[in-house]
Structure 1
Amino acid sequence: MNNNSLFIRAAKSELTERPPVWMMRQAGRFMKEYWDIKNKYSFLEMCKTPELAADVTMLPVDLLDIDAAILFSDILVTAEAMGGDLSFTQGVGPKFSNPVRTEADINRLQTGVNDKLQYVADAIKVIQQRLGGKIPLIGFAGAPFTVMSYLVEGGSSKDFKLTKLMLHNQPELAHQLLSKIAEVTIDYLNLQIAAGVNAVQIFDSWALALAWDDYKEFSHYYINKIISGLNRADIPVISFCKGSSVFAPLMAEAKPDVISIDWNVDLLDIKRRLPAGIAVQGNLDPHVLYADKKVIKERIHRLFERMRGEPGFIFNLGHGIMPDIPFDNVKYAIEVIKEFKY
C-alpha cells in the first residue's frame, strides 16, 4: 500500500486536496448485494470465512468507490474467542448465552486467543490481494468497555444496568474483566497489523452511557493501554466512541492519530481544542442520508467549507449507516464528496 493515499495522508494530519471518505458500516445491510450473501450464510459464517469476509469488504469498494475499505467482521469476535457463547439473531442482535457476572465467570475467560482469531488474519490477506494496493484497509476492534457491556448484559442493552452495577458495586471485578479484554484486544490488533491492515480503529460504541469519571476509569484507561501496546509504526490509529464530542479531550491523551467525532459538536471547534497532530474524522449525522439529495449536498458542502484549510480531516458519519438508508443516497453523497476540491 503506498502511503500517498488521501486517507493515510489525512490520518497523518496532512492537508489533502479534498477530504477522503469512508463510512462506518459501509459494507452492510443497506446494500442489496450484502443481503444476497447474508441470505445464504449466517453472520458468524460470513465473519469466519475469509473469502466471504473479503466479498463483503469489497462491496463498497466496487459499488461506491470509497477511499478506504474496512475489514468485514464484528467487535464481539474477541469476546467469543475468550469463551463467550455468541449467536446473532435477526432483529435481536448479538446474544451471549453465558453472561459474565461473577469472579468465576471472569476466571473462565481465556487470554492468548489469537489462534482462534486466525480467520481474521486470513481474511485480511485475501482482501489485500483483492485491493491490490489501490486503497488502504482499516482493521478494528471493540473497546474493552463496550465488549464488557455485551458480556455482562448478555447482549444489547438500553440502560447498561448490570454493567454499571458491576462498575459501581464491584469495581475490582470490572477491572479484572476489562484487563483481560484489553490484553486480548492488543494481541488481536497486532495480529491484524501483522496480517497487513493499513490503519486500525477502536470502537467504543457505548461509551456515551458513562459519566465522565467512570469513562476515565473504566474506558479511557484501557484504550490508553491498548494504543500504547500496538506495533503502530506507520499504522494510523483511530479512536471512536459515541460521546466523542464530550470525551475528545480525554481521548486525545491516549495519543491516537485520529479521533472520530459524533455529530453533536462543531467539528472545527473541537479540532482546534485538540493537540496539534491529531486528525479528526466525522461528523455528518447519518440521518442526513435519508434526506433529499439537495439537502445531502448542502450539508456535506457546509461541513467541508467549515473545515476548509484544516489539515487532518477524514469525512465520515458520526456513527454507522442505518440499514434502511437508500443505497442511492449513499452513492450520491460519495459522488458529492469526490467532486469537491479545496
Structure 2
Amino acid sequence: MLQALAGRRPARTPVWFMRQAGRSLPEYRALRERAGASMLDVCLWPQAAAQATLQPVRRHGVDAAVLFSDIMVPLRLAGVEVRIEPGVGPVLDAPVRDAAQVARVVARRFGDAERAGTGADGGALDGAAGAAAVEAAVRAVVAELGSPGHAGRHADHGARPGADPEARGDDAGGWSTLTPRARAGLAQSRGEAAWTPLLGFGGAPFTLVAYLAEGRPSRDHLAARTLMHADPAAWDALMTWAAHLTGAFMATQVRAGAAAVQLFDSWAGSLPAVDYREKVAPYSALALDLARDAVSATTGRPAAAIHFATRAEHLLPELHRTGADVVGVDECSDLGEASRWLGDRPVQGNLNPALLGAPWEVLARGVDACLEAGRAAPAHVFNLGHGVPPTSDPDVLTRVVARVHGSTDWEDAALAGWDGEA
C-alpha cells in the first residue's frame, strides 16, 4: 500500500474500500446494537472504534485499515453542535451564514469543546478527552496490525514487528480470541509485508463549510456558495478555520500511528473549476500541509496524502495542484484518462459501487477493467469510485479483494464465507 502511495508499483495491486468499516458488515451492526449509542459517540469510544476499524481487515484481507470515525468528529471536538440523523446525515441547528456567525464559530479550536460526546461509561467527554480517545483508538488498531512503531515493546520477545502476537508473548488486539478465518484475513492483508498500515482521514474544508452553511446535506450547497461570493473575508476566515480543524484531526491520527491520510471532499464537484481553484483549493492544500507536518508513530515519516472528491472530473488538475501524493478518482471519470491527465501522480479508484450487486461475471469484468485502466498511472490503489453501499454482500467484497490480489486461495476463503467474529 505504502509503495503504491509513493508512486512505486508493487508486486500486487493494493486494495481498500471507502466506507469499508461500517454498515455493510453484520458484525458492525451488532457492535452498534450492543453500544446503544449514536455514531458520533461511538467514534469516541476507543475500544469500539478500534474494533470497527479492524473488522473489514479481518474479514476482507484489504491492504489497509481506515479509522472508523466521521468527518463531523472534529466539529464536535471544537464545540460545534452537530448530530447525524438516520436517513438524513449531519444536521446542525445553527447554520453559519454571515460574518457574525462566522466570527463566533472560528473562535473555537480543536479540542476546546466543553462537551464533545458521551463516553462508553456514560460520562461526559470534553474536546480534549475526545481527541485523546481518537489517539487511543489509533494506537489500539496499529498494535493489532503489527505496525513497526510498536517494535520497541516487542523487542524482548525476539519477534519482528507483525509476527504472531502469541509468539512474542503478548496479546495485542485480542489476537488469541480471533477465529482462524479472522487471523487468515489479517495474514492476507499483510501479504509479504510484516504489517498492515492504517489510513486516517478528514473532511475537506469546503465539505465541512457546506454542512456548516446549509445546516444539513444539500443538493446545490447554495448557502455556502453564496457566502463564498457575498463576503470574501468571512469566507476566508471560515475556510481557514476549517482547514486548521481538519488538519489537526488528521495530524492527531498520524501522530498516533496512521501511515497515510485521505482528505474527502464530498461536495467539491458542485463547483466550477474557477471557483474551486481560487476559493477552495488553497484551503485544501493548507489542510494537507498541516496533516503532513505530523510524523507518524508507525513509519517515523510524514503521512502520504490522498485527495478524493466526488463528481469532480473537471477538477482533477486542481486536485493534483493541492499537493496530494495521490488523487482519488470516482466512478464518473475514466480512470485511464485521469491517469494521463495527472501524469506523475498515482491514482486511486474507481470501480462503480453499483457493480457490487451485479452477477459475479459482470463484476469480475469490471474489476479487471479497473486494474487495466490503472496501469496508465505510475501506481494504482484499487478502490471503489465512492463508498461501499450498505446493502453490499461482504463475501462479494472479499472476493473482489481476492481478484485484485490474484489469489485463488483467498477466493476460496471468500466463497466459503465468514465464520463469525470472535
Per the alignment, in what secondary structure is the counterpart of residue 400 of structure 2? helix
Instruction: Check if 1:21 corresponds to 2:18.
Output: no
What amino acid is the match of 1:255? G
Instruction: Check if 1:252 corresponds to 2:320.
Output: yes
Per the alignment, in what secondary structure is the counterpart of residue 237 of structure 1? strand
Partner of 1:88: 84
Partner of 1:47: 43
Partner of 1:184: 245
CA distance in structure 1 between the aligned counterparts of 2:372 and 2:240, rounded to whole angstroms: 42
Partner of 2:221: 160
Q: Give the drift of 1:257.
A: 0.9
CA distance in structure 1 between the aligned counterparts of 2:132 and 2:109, rounded to whole angstroms: 12
Distance 1:99 1:310, change over 3 A: closer
CA distance in structure 2 between the aligned counterparts of 1:261 and 1:306, rounded to whole angstroms: 12
Which shows bigger deviation, 154-163 or 287-296? 154-163
Per the alignment, in what secondary structure is the counterpart of residue 20 of structure 1? coil
CA distance in structure 1 between the aligned counterparts of 2:247 and 2:354, rounded to whole angstroms: 33
**8 Å contact from structure 1 (residues 244, 260) kept in 2:** no
Q: Give the drift of 1:107.
A: 1.9
**8 Å contact from structure 2 (residues 82, 91) kept in 1:** yes
Per the alignment, in what secondary structure is the counterpart of residue 28 of structure 1? coil
CA distance in structure 2 between the aligned counterparts of 1:89 and 1:227, rounded to whole angstroms: 29
Q: Give the drift of 1:153.
A: 0.9
Pairwise mapping of residues 302-321 of structure 1 onto structure 2 (< 5 A)?
Answer: 302-308=369-375, 310-321=377-388
- Runs of 4+ that moved beyond 6 A: none
Higher relative contact order (CA 8 A, sep 6+): 1
Runs of 5+ consecutive residues of structure 1 not aligned to the other structure: 1-6
Instruction: Check if 1:10 corresponds to 2:4.
Output: yes
Which shows bigger deviation, 288-297 or 185-194? 185-194
Partner of 2:305: 237
Q: Give the drift of 1:185.
A: 2.1
**8 Å contact from structure 1 (residues 252, 259) kept in 2:** yes
Q: Give the drift of 1:159.
A: 1.9
Residues 228-270 of structure 1: per-residue CA shift (max 9 Å, x gap): 3322644211011113422111111122111001122221222
Per the alignment, in what secondary structure is the counterpart of residue 313 of structure 2? helix
Partner of 2:57: 61
Partner of 1:77: 73
Partner of 2:342: 274
Instruction: Check if 1:142 corresponds to 2:203.
Output: yes
Residues 281-340 of structure 1: per-residue CA shift (max 9 Å, x gap): 001111111111111111111222233475311000111111112223222212211226
CA distance in structure 2 between the aligned counterparts of 1:44 and 1:332, rounded to whole angstroms: 31
**8 Å contact from structure 1 (residues 79, 151) kept in 2:** no
Which shows bigger deviation, 160-169 or 175-184? 160-169
Identity of aligned pairs, percent?
33
Runs of 5+ consecutive residues of structure 2 not aligned to the other structure: 112-127, 148-194, 295-300, 409-422
CA distance in structure 2 between the aligned counterparts of 1:97 and 1:106, rounded to whole angstroms: 15
Give the counterpart of 2:282 among 193, 209, 221.
Answer: 221
Which shows bigger deviation, 204-213 or 82-91? 82-91
Partner of 1:117: 131
Per the alignment, in what secondary structure is the counterpart of residue 69 of structure 2? coil
TM-score (norm 2): 0.76
Q: Give the drift of 1:11.
A: 0.5
**8 Å contact from structure 1 (residues 245, 264) kept in 2:** yes
**8 Å contact from structure 1 (residues 111, 184) kept in 2:** no
Residues 117-141 of structure 1: per-residue CA shift (max 9 Å, x gap): 2221121111111212220000011
CA distance in structure 2 between the aligned counterparts of 1:183 and 1:111, rounded to whole angstroms: 11
CA distance in structure 1 between the aligned counterparts of 2:99 and 2:222, rounded to whole angstroms: 18
**8 Å contact from structure 1 (residues 193, 231) kept in 2:** no
What amino acid is the match of 1:58? L
Which shows bigger deviation, 149-158 or 19-28? 149-158
Distance 1:308 1:144, change over 3 A: closer
Partner of 2:29: 35
**8 Å contact from structure 1 (residues 283, 318) kept in 2:** yes
Q: Give the drift of 1:216.
A: 1.3
Per the alignment, in what secondary structure is the counterpart of residue 327 of structure 2? strand
**8 Å contact from structure 1 (residues 293, 332) kept in 2:** no
What amino acid is the match of 1:22? W
Distance 1:265 1:90, change over 3 A: closer
Per the alignment, in what secondary structure is the counterpart of residue 289 of structure 1? helix
RMSD over equivalenced CA pairs, Å? 1.8
CA distance in structure 1 between the aligned counterparts of 2:76 and 2:407, rounded to whole angstroms: 42
Partner of 2:158: none
Partner of 2:267: 206
The size of the alignment, in residue pairs, is 334
CA distance in structure 1 between the aligned counterparts of 2:91 and 2:312, rounded to whole angstroms: 26
TM-score (norm 1): 0.92
